[in-house]
Chains A and B, each alone.
Chain A
């Protein structure tokens, strides 16, 4: 009981210390100029204004919509493709070089083309997120299918399962934990990509909010945007942890 209480309390110590330290060096003692680093009170005020005028909500929703659109598009392409490549060795060999070359390209490197191809707005951002997520999900899925326990495949075969049954009823379920890990990694990348994409080719979203606030000498809003991104990250991480716990194989 006490241990449990202690475990929940310990992670809070450092953030509280940081906030106090942050307050002291900015608004408290004025060691750092406020235009270089806004203090906690300025940030709270900025947050309050953004909540009241609804901008925080609309921009957050806007970013999340892009994240999900990109992630879902990537999953729709990468999961079936990963299963296919994991199943047909020849096809994997056929595609491997292209994947190896495209995979290390940072998603933000696609920004110029995304603007050329999709203009300004939601689609270029979704495209960049797609490019960022598609490879991790693909690789994880491919790996999951290939790592299916041989004993399970052979058991199914000696129970009369044909190739299709083995794929559908053994390899795919066995790859599910890997796919979820891939989605988790993809989610993190998607969030990063969205913000970068919004800073370049977009007129809305948290990334856009952060960038415009800085140029309008409103550093409080910038920090609010950063913190909201962090919070979104935590929430998704918690969700994925829960999902992964439910998959026990």
Chain B
């Protein structure tokens, strides 16, 4: 499923200033099956853009087209994986995973459970199927959340810094698993991050965003071959060139003068 973001503006009413412009004239096309990272410093509106694509918020002007239809509200076609843990605490892992299936398919209970168990087996979480979310580690919670969305066959996955709370080893492991999953299921993924390394590792296309007002500064096609190696020269060069141009750097320079 492709996504088209057309002339999006988003502003909030604010007490300090009359209006706070979070996104200004944002245009973006995301192709079917593409993995796109929205990269930028905090306050650049990357999460807002993701929420607009999800239909959880409405733009002030402009429109978003997902698979030929205008986005007007949340839908099972566009699953969101949040930064905060979002498993339902009163449901076991297995029941969390089957939640979406029960919402969107007419499958029997047995079919749903079989499917969920198959997926949990693949990512090595089957032994936790009867555990509750509070019994899992942060990384496991996010893996379950991802499976929950994948199983639902959401053609679009919208991920809002899902790995930012994890330690580096777990983060790298989950990034690799995400790539595997994406290659198998061919979803379209929009991944919000402020971590340049993460963006270069994951993305087909990096959308570099700037702030005040939130906008798209640059779109970088990442041509690196997969699986990507962090220690390769191309990887490091690309990272450096992005870091140099990040809005964050400019602001820091100004504040120093």
B76 interface residue per 8 A CB criterion: yes
A160 CA / B102 CA spacing, docked (Å)? 9
Distance between Cα atoms of A159 and B76 in the complex (Å) = 4
- Contact indicator A160/B84 (Cβ below 8 Å): no
Given known contacts A151-B84, A165-B103, A248-B134, is B79 in contact with A158 (CB within 8 Å)?
yes
- Chain A residues positioned under 8 Å from B149 (CB to CB): 158-159
Number of A-B contacts (CB under 8 A): 68
Complex contact A173–B90 (CB within 8 A): yes
Distance between Cα atoms of A249 and B86 in the complex (Å): 12
CA distance in complex: A15, B56 (Å): 58
CB of A141 within 8 Å of the partner chain:
no
Question: Counting CB contacts under 8 A, is B128 at the interface?
Answer: no
Which label, helix, strand, loop or mixed, suits the secondary structure of the A interface?
helix
Given A174-B90, A248-B89, check contact A161 B103 (CB 8 Å).
yes
Give B151's nearest chain A residue, CB to CB. A159
Q: Is the CB of B152 within 8 A of A159?
A: yes
Number of interface residues of A (CB under 8 A): 19
Inter-chain contact A155/B80, CB cutoff 8 Å: yes
Evaluate contact between B54 and A158: CB separation under 8 angstroms. yes
Asked if residues A158 and B76 are in contact (CB atoms below 8 Å), the reply is: yes
- In the complex, whether B148 has a CB less than 8 A from a CB of chain A is yes
Contact yes or no, B99 A159, CB < 8 A: yes
Please state if B104 and A160 are interface contacts (CB–CB under 8 Å): yes
Q: How close is B184's CB to chain A, nearest CB, in angstroms?
A: 20
Residue from the list A151, A160, A248 in contact with B103, Cβ < 8 A? A160
Interfacial chain A residues near B158, Cβ < 8 Å:
158
Tell me which residues across on chain A come within 8 A of B134, comparing CB atoms. Answer: 248-249
On whether the beta carbons of A151 and B86 are closer than 8 Å, the reply is yes
Chain A residues with Cβ under 8 A from B148's Cβ?
A: 159
Q: Does A32 contact B (CB under 8 A)?
A: no
* Partner-A contacts on B (CB < 8 A): 54, 56, 73-76, 78-80, 82, 84, 86, 88-90, 99-100, 103-104, 132, 134, 145, 148-149, 152, 154, 158
Between A and B, 28 residue pairs with Cβ closer than 8 Å are A151-B82, A151-B84, A152-B86, A152-B88, A154-B54, A154-B74, A154-B80, A155-B86, A156-B88, A156-B103, A157-B75, A158-B54, A158-B74, A158-B75, A158-B79, A158-B80, A158-B149, A158-B154, A159-B103, A160-B104, A161-B103, A169-B88, A173-B90, A176-B90, A248-B89, A249-B89, A249-B90, A249-B134
